[in-house]
């Protein structure tokens, strides 16, 4: 939801902000960001969704919470420009179909627009502005990933301290100690990157372009490692439905793919550092 909220905060008109932001804050409305149209990297030249005479045509897949959202902020091409269009998903010209998700607690949907009425967020008329929105979202998602990684680590540590083998807590074995130590380091590195991203976001600093890449990539790595090690260090029960380990792993995979994946953000980090140099 914060993707749609950030889009309105950045590029919405005063009237659009007044109409949507209070309801987003209260939970009366659910918004989503409809961006991807194909697997892999998404660029300006990949957009096939078009906006003409305030009518939207095209398909977006997968859209997070697209099956339950009331409205969507959609990336589309209008002539030679890339714009963000605000679309009521409950109105005509919109067809939604649920898509199976790796994380059953977070839904995905395919959304097709066939002449759906849309209004443009006037502040966004280029791909660079869309990327700026993604940068801000990357920092926010990084904190969700960091929270998940931290909790997975806490539960794993608690389990290994209480699980005994050969008369000792398995957390006392050196091999387990090393793995927990590696997890702790990975999480703290991600935390540092996330805090840097939060500073850049809150100050709207030029460093945001680099900080967002580092925050998302580091947090994705930390959550994925923490959740996979959670399964391994829980032993046989870690692979069962009765324990929550698989829920953390599913959420880690879901969030990592939400904005394109850690590898894509690392590539962007390299490109941005080279451009800055």
Is residue 31 classed as helix, strand or coil in its secondary structure? strand
Query: 166 and 142, same structural domain?
Result: yes
For residue 205, what are the domain limits?
Answer: 128-276
Query: 272 and 153, same structural domain?
Result: yes
**pLDDT value at residue 51:** 93
Query: 219 and 108, same structural domain?
Result: no
Query: 269 and 132, same structural domain?
Result: yes
What whole-number distance in Å separates Cα of residue 39 and Cα of residue 260? 9
Strands 31-34 and 71-78: parallel
Residue 44, pLDDT > 80, answer: no
Query: 233 and 102, same structural domain?
Result: no
Strands 31-34 and 50-52: unpaired
Query: 156 and 93, same structural domain?
Result: no
Worst-scoring range by mean pLDDT, 61-65, 179-183, 257-261?
A: 257-261
Query: 208 and 244, same structural domain?
Result: yes
**pLDDT value at residue 12:** 92
- Contact (Cβ atoms closer than 8 angstroms) between residue 179 and residue 154: no
pLDDT tens digit string along 179-238?
A: 999 999 999 999 999 999 999 999 999 999 999 999 999 999 999 999 999 999 999 898
Is residue 246 classed as helix, strand or coil in its secondary structure? helix
- Closest alpha carbon to 146 in 59, 98, 64, 214: 214
List % helix, strand, coil for the chain (3-state, nearest 5): 55, 20, 25
Residue 38, pLDDT > 90, answer: no
What whole-number distance in Å separates Cα of residue 29 and Cα of residue 86? 14
Torsion-angle region of 49 (φ positive above 0: left; ψ -120 to 50: alpha; else: beta): beta
**pLDDT value at residue 3:** 86
pLDDT band at 271 (very low <50, low <70, confident <90, very high): very high
Query: 242 and 155, same structural domain?
Result: yes
Last residue of a domain, one of 94, 110, 125: 125
Query: 216 and 193, same structural domain?
Result: yes
**pLDDT value at residue 1:** 67
- The structure tokens listed for 53 are 């005479």
Structurally, how many domains does the chain consist of? 2
pLDDT tens digit string along 77-97?
A: 998 889 999 999 999 999 999
- Compute the half-sphere exposure of residue 254: CA atoms within 13 Å on the CB side of its CA: 21
Last residue of a domain, one of 61, 94, 125: 125
The CATH number of the domain where 240 resides is what?
A: 1.20.140.10
Last residue of a domain, one of 125, 143, 162: 125
Query: 89 and 154, same structural domain?
Result: no
What whole-number distance in Å separates Cα of residue 26 and Cα of residue 77? 32
- The structure tokens listed for 73 are 């902020």
Query: 139 and 255, same structural domain?
Result: yes
**Dihedral sign (CA 158, 163, 166, 170):** negative
The pTM score is: 0.90
The CATH number of the domain where 97 resides is what?
A: 2.40.110.10
Query: 117 and 33, same structural domain?
Result: yes
pLDDT band at 123 (very low <50, low <70, confident <90, very high): confident
């Amino acid at each position: 939801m914060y993707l749609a909220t950030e889009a309105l905060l950045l590029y919405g008109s005063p009237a659009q902000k007044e109409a949507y932001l209070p309801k987003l804050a209260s939970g009366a409305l659910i918004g989503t960001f409809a961006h991807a149209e194909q697997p892999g990297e998404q660029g300006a030249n990949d957009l096939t969704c078009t906006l003409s005479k305030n009518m939207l045509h095209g398909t977006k897949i997968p859209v997070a919470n697209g099956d339950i959202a009331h409205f969507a902020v959609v990336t589309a091409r209008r002539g030679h420009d890339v714009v963000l269009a605000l679309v009521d998903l409950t109105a005509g010209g919109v067809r939604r179909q649920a898509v199976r998700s790796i994380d059953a607690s977070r839904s995905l949907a395919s959304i097709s627009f066939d002449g759906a009425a849309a209004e443009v967020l006037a502040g966004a008329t280029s791909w660079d502005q869309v990327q700026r929105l993604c940068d801000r979202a990357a920092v926010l998602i990084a904190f969700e990933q960091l929270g998940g990684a931290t909790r997975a680590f806490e539960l794993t540590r608690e389990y290994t301290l209480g699980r005994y083998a050969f008369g000792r807590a398995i957390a006392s074995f050196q091999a387990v100690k090393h793995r927990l130590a590696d997890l702790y380091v990975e999480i703290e590195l991600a935390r540092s990157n996330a805090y840097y991203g939060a500073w850049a976001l809150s100050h709207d600093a030029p460093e945001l372009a680099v900080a967002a890449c580092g925050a998302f990539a580091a947090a994705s790595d930390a959550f994925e490692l923490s959740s996979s090690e959670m399964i391994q260090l829980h032993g046989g029960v870690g692979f069962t439905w009765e324990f929550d380990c698989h829920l953390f792993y599913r959420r880690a995979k879901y969030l990592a793919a939400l904005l394109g994946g850690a590898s894509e953000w690392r590539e962007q980090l390299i490109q941005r550092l080279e451009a800055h140099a």
